[in-house]
Amino acid sequence: MTEIFLTPQVHEEDEFFYGYGGLMKVVEQKVVKYIQMGYDPGVNYHSVYYPDQQLLIAVCSNKSAHAYEMQEVLEEFFVD
């Protein structure tokens, strides 16, 4: 069941697909990044997981924006 949950199901755009568990980036038919995000008034979060590196980056914010931008900076620093 976990394998189905984490398998790309629907093409979104470019290299991005939706699975039952959320958004994922696929390169050469391999998932290279799992993406979760959520928003409510006054809070938001972005979380990414790189399976090849076993790297998880999660950014939580008590504002309505800017978690994604912080995540991008961390990815530039930590992702191969």
What's the pTM value of the predicted model, to 2 decimals? 0.88
- Residue numbers of the domain that contains 69: 2-78
Instruction: Note the pLDDT of residue 12.
Output: 93
Structure tokens at 37: 């995000």
Contact 55, 68 (CB under 8 A): no
One digit per residue, pLDDT tens: the chain, 80 residues?
788 888 999 999 999 999 998 999 999 999 999 999 999 888 999 999 999 999 999 999 998 888 999 999 999 999 97
**21/51 Cα distance (integer angstroms):** 15
> Which strand ranges, in their side-by-side order, compose the sheet holding 16-19?
10-13, 16-19, 22-27, 30-40, 43-50, 55-61
Q: Which residues pair with 42 in a beta bridge?
A: none
Domains of the chain: total: 1
Structure tokens at 55: 């790297």
